[in-house]
Amino acid sequence: MLPTEPIGSIPRPAALIEGVQDFRAGRISQPELNALYESAVRDTIRSLEATGSPVITDGEQAKDSFATYSIYGLENLSPDGVPISFADGHIRNLPRLTAGPFRYKTPADVYLEVAQRYAHVPLKQAVVSASALSLLYPQGGIRGYSREQYLDALVAEQEGEIRRCLKKGAHVVQMDFTEGRLSIKLDPTRRLLHSFIDLNNLVLERFSAEERKRIGVHTCPGADRHSTHSADVDYAELLPSLFELRATSFYVQLANEPNRTRVLKMIREHAKDEQRIFVGVIDPLNPRVETPEEVRDHVLEAAEYIRPDRLGTTDDCGFAPFSDDTSRTRQTAFDKIRARVAGTALASAVLDQ
């Protein structure tokens, strides 16, 4: 059976979204909000396990967003950081660091511990990449806290976060690297991309080869609502550099690529022998649920370019990377995951023959 894993997020239940708004307005207390989080995690895990997925996540139910969960609530941040423009016109602003020192407030292993109370199958834990958080540091600098000091602290924080997730038993830790293609949009010279890769490798190199077998990297053009921030950037600009990352597993958005065979050829050309490629076979942006047969065909197509012992399947992206994203329903997400699992099993049966 080919391995199959989700990316991470699942749309939050309406009760939780309302609860978060109530909490921000002072209408409910922190314990009441925590109870809503816990309930959403429990329900999400139960539903994910029901899809038959051999590896699950907590659906990122308690995360504010995939990018800011670890820093949400820090006092040395202001909301007017780097703006990320999406193709449909909406903008998400990253926070901006206003003072040092920098520390995570809620690292991913805290979420993992909660999920472990309810999970009966292996749990995967997503963490945001150091390169994404490198954008928090303002261009004008911070008096008394240099960019080097910030990056040093950031790398140490992420090492600690990943190490604790591994130690606590995460099946795999997935580094979300959605800003790869975006960086090319910001800097066509690709110098920014190379800095991103180098920074993430500074984190990855702190782990042994054995530990890195349980560390993966996810890339996609940043899905939010019904849109992406960098799908217009040619994959060819990113893929050769992507596989320079010293991770073992790569979760690559593919289902909604207009020319999949071209991307698969690039993966075959650039991925290293020891790297496993989880190809995206589900498009979270498309409300239509794929059939298992469609998934099977996508997998078999990928197997023509990637050896089955190096192949796995995944979703193109999380289903709600930002907590307030209601553009998809939970049921659609679970149905799509069920199709991925079933379709992967069908493809595995064909490949085993």
Partner 1 sequence: MPERREAYEEILGRLNRRLRTLYQCTGALFQAESEQELLQSICEILVASGEVRLAWIGYCEDDAEKTVRPVARAGYGLDYLERVKTSWGELETGQGPVGIAARTGNACWVDDIRTDPRFSLWREVALARGYASCVAVPLIANGKSAVDLRGTLNLYSAERNAFDEGAIEHYTGLATSVAYAVTALRGSLAEDLAHGVTALRASAERKRAEEALHQAREELAHVTRVTTLGELAASIAHEISQPLAAIGADASACLHWLAADRPDLDSVREALAAIVKDGHRAGAVMTRIRALLARSSVAHEPCDLTGVIRDVLLLVSPELGRYGTVLQTSLATDLPPVMGDRVQLQQVLLNLLLNAAEAVRKVPPDRRRLVVRSTVERREDGPWAVVTVEDAGVGFKEEEAVRLFEAFYTTKPGGLGMGLSISRSIVEGHRGRLWATANPGHGATFHFALPGAP
What whole-number distance in Å separates Cα of residue 244 and Cα of residue 149?
A: 25
Cβ 196 to partner 1, closest distance in Å? Answer: 8
Residue with smaller CB distance to partner 1, 148 or 273: 148
Residue with smaller CB distance to partner 1, 135 or 299: 135
Q: Using the rule CB under 8 A, is 93 a contact of partner 1?
A: no
Q: Using the rule CB under 8 A, is 151 a contact of partner 1?
A: yes
How many of the chain's residues bind partner 1 (CB under 8 A)?
A: 35
Task: Mark the segment that binds partner 1 (CB under 8 A) among 28-36, 147-155, 299-307, 319-327.
Answer: 147-155
- The DSSP annotation for 276-331 comes to EEEEEEE-TTS-SPPPHHHHHHHHHHHHTTS-GGGEEEEESS-S-SBTT--SS-HH
What whole-number distance in Å separates Cα of residue 262 and Cα of residue 235?
A: 9
Q: Using the rule CB under 8 A, is 244 a contact of partner 1?
A: no
CB 70 within 8 A of CB 111: no
What whole-number distance in Å separates Cα of residue 20 and Cα of residue 25?
A: 9
Q: Using the rule CB under 8 A, is 91 a contact of partner 1?
A: yes
Q: Using the rule CB under 8 A, is 147 a contact of partner 1?
A: yes
Contacts 24+ apart (CB under 8 A), 295-298: 295/339, 295/340, 295/342, 295/343, 295/344, 295/346, 295/347, 296/343, 296/344, 296/346, 296/347, 296/350, 298/254, 298/255, 298/260, 298/343
70 CB-near residues (< 8 Å, 6+ apart): 104, 105, 106, 107, 108, 127, 128, 133, 157, 161
Residue among 24, 27, 90, 105 that touches partner 1 (CB under 8 A): 90
Residue with smaller CB distance to partner 1, 194 or 270: 194
Greatest Cα pair distance in the chain = 64
Residue among 32, 88, 293, 304 that touches partner 1 (CB under 8 A): 88
Residue with structure tokens 């708004």? 21
Contact string 162-201 vs partner 1 (x = CB under 8 A): -----------------------xxxxx-xx-xxx-xx--
Residue with smaller CB distance to partner 1, 4 or 200: 200
Q: Which residues pair with 224 in a beta bridge?
A: 227
Cβ 8 to partner 1, closest distance in Å? Answer: 25
Task: Mark the segment that binds partner 1 (CB under 8 A) among 64-72, 151-159, 171-179, 278-286.
Answer: 151-159
Angle between helices 292-303 and 260-270 (to 10 degrees): 40
Residue among 30, 75, 120, 139 that touches partner 1 (CB under 8 A): 139
Task: Mark the segment that binds partner 1 (CB under 8 A) among 5-13, 149-157, 327-335, 345-353.
Answer: 149-157
Q: Tell how far CA 147 is from the center of its chain.
A: 25
Residue with smaller CB distance to partner 1, 103 or 226: 226
Q: Using the rule CB under 8 A, is 209 a contact of partner 1?
A: no
What whole-number distance in Å separates Cα of residue 94 and Cα of residue 222?
A: 13
Residue with smaller CB distance to partner 1, 94 or 252: 94
Residues contributing to the site for partner 1 (CB under 8 A): 80, 82, 85, 87-91, 134-135, 137-141, 147-148, 150-152, 155, 185-189, 191-192, 194-196, 198-199, 202, 205
